Chains A and B, each alone.
Chain A
Amino acid sequence: MDFKKSINMSLTDVYDRHSDMLFRIALTHTSCREDAEDACQDVFIKFSQLNKSFIDDEHIKSWLIRTCINRCHDISRYHKIRNHLDIDDIRDIIADDDMAKEYLSLNEALRELPSKYKDIIILHYYEGYSLEECSRLLKISLSNSKMRLMRAREMMKIKIEKEDR
């Protein structure tokens, strides 16, 4: 008989380990602090009610990221008007004002990208996942990941060039 190893972590442990990462993903995706908090809350509530075995912490992390991204997609579909973050929204959750300004620039650059392109940019460039890992997290093929990354960069390049004029 084959026994699956399973990890048993409390919700508090999981929250303390992964909340910052999830919140960053949600905030960068939604560009709205309230939506990001709601998305995180929904993800952790769903996790607490889940009847599923996880093999290790990476398995939990993958589930959290995938669920968070899906939730952010739902929120984006619901909110037709794209949000703008300003420095007051993030002053208490970021190191200092210089970092805050840099983050706002990043957020502005990604704000108008379609959700599926935001996903790949956030996961690959900012969370540091390889394209293979991104394709597993997003449940898409590797070629699809590469294509999305390429198109996302093209769109961001066009946006930057427009702003520079």
Chain B
Amino acid sequence: MPYKYTDAYKSIKAPDELRTKILNSTTRKKQFNLKPLISVAACVIILAAIIPTYVGFTDPDVTVAQVAVIAQRQAGTRINLDLDLDRTGVISVSEGTLEGYNGEKVKGNIQLIWDLGNADYKDCTLTLKDAFKTTEYALDYNENNGSWSIIKN
């Protein structure tokens, strides 16, 4: 029995309207496929955010609005730092301690007290570490006018 009716089977044709239906529905689907565009847009946005930072277009990383000695003790010097960070980062010091700061990530304007302890200011560096780089600043004292500053290494 299975050998019979092969000609009848082979004479079946797909209906004409099926062709129109299928080619129209696949065309419609392609027009509304936004996924590739969204992926490209996301990549462009990410690259735009990373590239300027990576090649150092924004500079400096840290501006020191004010460095002032707020107290001098026999044991050491306490310095008032008024920092403006344009990227999120972590601050650390080579000598002494940063009062009011627990090592958390910070950004924008931040005021800290750097207690130098027994350290000589010439040995003191402040480090800012963000997602892209680590920047060191030296503490500097101008003996001529008695002013303090933070200088990028």
Q: Which residues of A contact B (CB under 8 A)?
A: 11-12, 15, 19-20, 22-24, 27-28, 37, 40-41, 44-45, 48-49, 90, 92-95, 99-100, 102-103, 105-106, 109, 121, 125-126, 153, 156-157, 160
* B12-20, B77-85, B87-95, B128-136 - interface stretch: B12-20
Q: A23-B12, A45-B26 are in contact. Are A40 and B5 (CB under 8 A)?
A: no
A94 with B7: CB separation less than 8 A: no
Bound-state CA distance A45–B13 (Å) is 19
CA gap between A22 and B12 in the complex, in Å: 10
Cβ–Cβ contact B29 & A45, under 8 A: yes
CB distance from B102 to the nearest CB of A (A): 50
Asked if A15 and B19 make an inter-chain contact with CB atoms under 8 angstroms apart, the answer reads: yes
> Could you tell me the dominant secondary structure of chain B's interface residues?
helix
User: Are the CB atoms of A23 and B22 closer together than 8 Å?
Assistant: no
Please determine whether A40 and B22 come into contact, CB atoms closer than 8 angstroms.
yes
> How far apart are the CA atoms of A116 and B102 in the complex, in Å?
69
In the bound complex, CA of A106 to CA of B6 (Å): 9
